[in-house]
Chain A
């Protein structure tokens, strides 16, 4: 019978932070049942799962946000936090003797994840959903997430009571203009992706056009490759076909697909204008 050390939570947090995470929390695996459909809960992937360890980090740096959108597009960072998740899964098994499953960050089919990492972050008390969509941490703002399901009976965190969104400045803007920075930069009624309001000071999303957002956020990713491939095959003119395959758009798409991991995401506008997305620490 494995014995879970009393300081297991602290040790996990230390390992996670040393490996590059900025936050680490634990969600109750059973808490997913209220929110996630069957087939998308931790116990569907790890029988007997009791807890989900969630780490966040690897966000664009303050300097990246200061750079031009073109530069920010090339800062691939999400993969760094996934390495932390993998390491934690091995650590739990080696040190505590309980099963641990690194929850895959990719999609099961279409745009659907196996287990929602955003939901995991919320249930682990690491952040809450914003009007813009991403889960924002109160101290660090926008982060990328990785999660590990485990049978270890770790003490769990609950969802946070008050989220980072809306920021005080957004509340004031709402009172004044009935919109917020993210809603005004990408309004769903004006060709954008986001629709929502503040109700009693809380963010309430009414609509989010995921498909439209995906075509803007991942212009150079797998979808871009598929789009150019189809257009090229449909193009009868050999010279035009050559231009399509050797042109900048397809070249950047190939860079995005390969290990160099540049051009992973191209639109950060809702988060660029979000006062809560960049953390609390101002830099010089």
Chain B
């Protein structure tokens, strides 16, 4: 059993390491908390035997300046520093070095289809960093809104942070809008991908998200577009057409997107552009 004093010390110490390495927020979930939500094979202990805790780091997305850019192509390729991954590695190193317990970065990238080995969204929720939203079920932090999440799994026992008692979505402004006209900013801007209802208590009552459609819009340049263009190129019988497709901007940008430049990670931000959660950080001078 953890001593309350030492628990506070070690948790705050680990979180401070993460924040110093660039995380905007850090939270802790109990590894066992995943059992009720994640299927077998996708829980922390499936990745690291004896896992006790999951430490989650949230990193900034695009800057407020990037949100203001009138050229949509800039938002497509800029604004990410992916510091949450750096923060997770800094904390994992710290745990192994200072606390002599195992720590690994939680695997998040899909190994088949869209299914991640471990859900970073679930990890962020369980660590009290945010809740799911109408907007593509993106996890919203009540203070900062859209953040990007990474996590580590450790055998070190850490007291978890409680999940949020009040969801970040819907924002009071969105509840008022729903009462007035029966929709919210995100549902209105993207009825193709999103639908949902707000309950009389101002909570998400029902939410539907068309992931396949959203994916084809949010990631027009990336692995999917590379595969699509490559198939088209391979199936093209005319050498001149093939030459044009191989050296054209679409295939070139797809290659840049899958390269280490981190160009073109996502192309559609419209549901997030209109979301009021965390907007105060996007209104500057």
Residues in A lying within 8 Å of B, measured CB to CB? 1-2, 44-47, 79, 83, 86-87, 89-90, 93, 97-110, 114, 149-152, 222, 225-226, 229-230, 233-234, 257-261
B114 at the interface (CB under 8 A from A): no
Determine the chain B residues whose CB is within 8 A of the CB of A46 once the complex forms: 65, 68-69
Nearest to A98 among chain B residues (CB) is: B285
Determine the chain B residues whose CB is within 8 A of the CB of A260 once the complex forms: 260
- B63 and A89: CB pair below 8 A? yes
Determine the chain B residues whose CB is within 8 A of the CB of A89 once the complex forms: 63, 65-66
Determine the chain A residues whose CB is within 8 A of the CB of B64 once the complex forms: 93, 99-100
Once bound together, how far apart are the Cα atoms of A110 and B174, in whole Å? 42
Determine the chain A residues whose CB is within 8 A of the CB of B246 once the complex forms: 226, 229-230
| Interface pairs (17), CB distance under 8 Å | A44-B71, A86-B79, A86-B80, A86-B81, A87-B22, A89-B65, A90-B60, A99-B284, A100-B64, A101-B65, A102-B65, A114-B71, A151-B65, A226-B251, A230-B242, A230-B246, A233-B233
Residues in B lying within 8 Å of A, measured CB to CB? 22, 60, 63-66, 68-71, 73-74, 77-81, 233-234, 239, 242-243, 246-247, 249, 251-252, 255-256, 258-261, 263, 281, 284-285
> With A45-B71, A234-B239, A257-B255 in contact, do A150 and B65 touch (Cβ < 8 Å)?
yes
Chain B nearest CB, measured from A117 CB (Å): 13
- B259 and A257: CB pair below 8 A? yes
Nearest to A103 among chain B residues (CB) is: B78
Q: Point out the residue from B63, B69, B71 that lies within 8 Å of A90, measured CB to CB.
A: B63
- B63 and A104: CB pair below 8 A? no
Chain A nearest CB, measured from B237 CB (Å): 10
> With A106-B77, A233-B242, A234-B239 in contact, do A257 and B258 touch (Cβ < 8 Å)?
yes
- A226 and B252: CB pair below 8 A? yes
- A93 and B247: CB pair below 8 A? no
Once bound together, how far apart are the Cα atoms of A103 and B75, in whole Å? 10
> With A226-B255, A233-B234 in contact, do A100 and B65 touch (Cβ < 8 Å)?
yes
> With A2-B285, A114-B74, A151-B284 in contact, do A101 and B252 touch (Cβ < 8 Å)?
no
Determine the chain B residues whose CB is within 8 A of the CB of A93 once the complex forms: 63-65, 281, 284
Once bound together, how far apart are the Cα atoms of A234 and B241, in whole Å? 12
Q: Knowing that A100-B63, A151-B284, A233-B233 are A-B contacts, what are 11 other residue pairs whose CB atoms are under 8 Å apart, sorted by A's residue number?
A: A44-B70, A46-B69, A79-B260, A99-B63, A99-B64, A101-B65, A101-B74, A222-B252, A230-B247, A234-B239, A257-B258
> With A47-B68, A102-B79, A104-B77 in contact, do A230 and B249 touch (Cβ < 8 Å)?
no
Determine the chain B residues whose CB is within 8 A of the CB of A107 once the complex forms: 256
Residue picked from A45, A101, A150, A233, most chain B C-beta under 10 Å:
A101
Determine the chain B residues whose CB is within 8 A of the CB of A106 once the complex forms: 77, 256, 261, 263
- B258 and A99: CB pair below 8 A? no
Chain A nearest CB, measured from B115 CB (Å): 22
> With A102-B78, A226-B246 in contact, do A97 and B285 touch (Cβ < 8 Å)?
yes
Q: Point out the residue from A103, A152, A233, A258 that lies within 8 Å of B260, measured CB to CB.
A: A258
